[in-house]
Amino acid sequence: MQYAKILGTGSYLPANRVSNDDLAKKVDTSDEWITTRTGIKFRHIADDDEKTSDLAVAAARRALDDAGLGADEIDLIIVATATPDMQFPSTASIVQHKLGVAGCPAFDVAAVCAGFMYALNTAHAYIKSGMAAKALVIGAETFSRILDWNDRSTCVLFGDGAGAVVLGASEEPGIIAGKLQADGAYLPLLKVPAHMAGGQICGNPYVEMDGPGVFKFAVKTLAKVAEEVIAEAGMSAADIDWIVPHQANKRIIESTAKHLGLSMDKVILTVAEHANTSAASIPLALDAGIRNGQIRRGQTLLLEGIGGGFAWGAVLMKY
Ligand code: ACO
């Protein structure tokens, strides 16, 4: 049996760390409102000259170091992002070049906050089928670029960052089960409508969100997909050592843990420090949990995330 196992992780946050109080100087909000509704305290914001690919490369280098591998040993690069450097080529191609390598397949996946779940499941399928032996899977976002900084209902929620994982083929687990789902009927809940036409950007280039609608759908759907992936792995929630959730909102995370009958002591929580970094949030949390000693080799992890599309997914794995 061929598994995809994590060989190394890495992450990167831009230096500019912005507190809720900093934001309250610019928009009509407060630390109290943001903290009680979301658990967010800080977010990191990229400088104007820092591209999504720069964040991705910084995280990737750390993950490669952690795995003890050179970029030339990687035979698949996938970048999950909703904020690519440009319309095309893919951010993954740009990352590949910035890492000083060429030749292996490199492509982006677009599933917004579920992007890392989509990228990880895709890399898993490549490795399981023998199409790749060592994959670099990155979630990277500069979400600050698609926020209307005058819209307090969205701008307080997000941040920039990147997280990366090196996956390698292994005889021992590894990813045990994975699930991806989507339903485009929920497009109205969350979108950036902008598109190019006639040489111009048409439509609003900023995040539009029905916050309570997203909240309700996320709570219901994450609980269900988590249960499904646990069942597919032939396990029970009690077997899980750590939930590594998408870090959108502490209350959504608490709801999933409660539904599974797991205490918050079993959850890697970085939303206070990172805010919602979309596709980067799960690998950022994973790397934080590993580096601070919470997550140890051999433990069982449940990764789960949901985002615009709507698209969602989960992965159950041994670290
Ligand atoms: N500061 C102060 N007041 C605010 C702010 C703010 N930043 N934003 C909105 N308000 C006001 C609203 O104007 C409203 O005022 P009103 O009652 O006078 O009209 C009031 O706060 C309540 O607004 P609600 O939207 O009802 O607040 P709610 O309790 O639903 O919380 C929130 C809003 C935090 C967005 C919540 O709905 C939520 O967390 N939803 C999930 C959104 C999410 O996580 N999106 C991320 C992308 S998708 C994903 O990653 C899963």
- Residue 2 pLDDT: 86
Q: Is 309 in the pocket of ligand 1 (CB under 6 A)?
A: no
Q: Which domains does the chain have, with CATH numbers?
A: 3-172 (3.40.47.10), 176-318 (3.40.47.10)
Q: Is 249 in the pocket of ligand 1 (CB under 6 A)?
A: yes
Q: Is 40 in the pocket of ligand 1 (CB under 6 A)?
A: no
Among candidates 290, 286, 266, which has minimal Cα distance to 277? 286
Question: Which residue bears the tokens 């994450």?
Answer: 222
Report how far ligand 1's centroid is from the alpha carbon of 43 (Å). 17
Low-confidence residues of the chain: pLDDT under 50:
none
Report how far ligand 1's centroid is from the alpha carbon of 263 (Å). 25
Q: Is 20 in the pocket of ligand 1 (CB under 6 A)?
A: no
Contacts of 44 (CB under 8 A, 6+ apart): 13, 14, 15, 16, 17, 18, 159, 160, 161, 274
ipTM over 0.85? The verdict is yes
Asked whether 121 and 153 are in contact (CB, 8 A), the reply is no
> Would you mind telling me the total number of residues written for the chain in this entry?
319
Question: Which residue bears the tokens 């790397």?
Answer: 287
Question: Which residue bears the tokens 């951010």?
Answer: 91
Q: Among 44, 124, 246, 274, which one carries the catalytic annotation?
A: 246
Q: Among 20, 113, 155, 274, which one carries the catalytic annotation?
A: 113
Contacts 24+ apart (CB under 8 A), 48-51: 50/14, 50/142, 50/160, 51/85, 51/94, 51/142
Report how far ligand 1's centroid is from the alpha carbon of 153 (Å). 5
Asked whether 114 and 174 are in contact (CB, 8 A), the reply is no
Asked whether 139 and 282 are in contact (CB, 8 A), the reply is yes
Q: Is 253 in the pocket of ligand 1 (CB under 6 A)?
A: no
Q: Is 107 in the pocket of ligand 1 (CB under 6 A)?
A: no
Reported as a single tens digit per residue, the pLDDT across 69-124 is: 999 999 999 999 999 999 999 999 999 999 999 999 999 999 999 999 999 999 99
Q: Is 246 a catalytic residue?
A: yes
Report how far ligand 1's centroid is from the alpha carbon of 248 (Å). 12
Q: Is 244 exposed, middle or buried (0-12, 13-18, 19+ CB in 10 A)?
A: buried
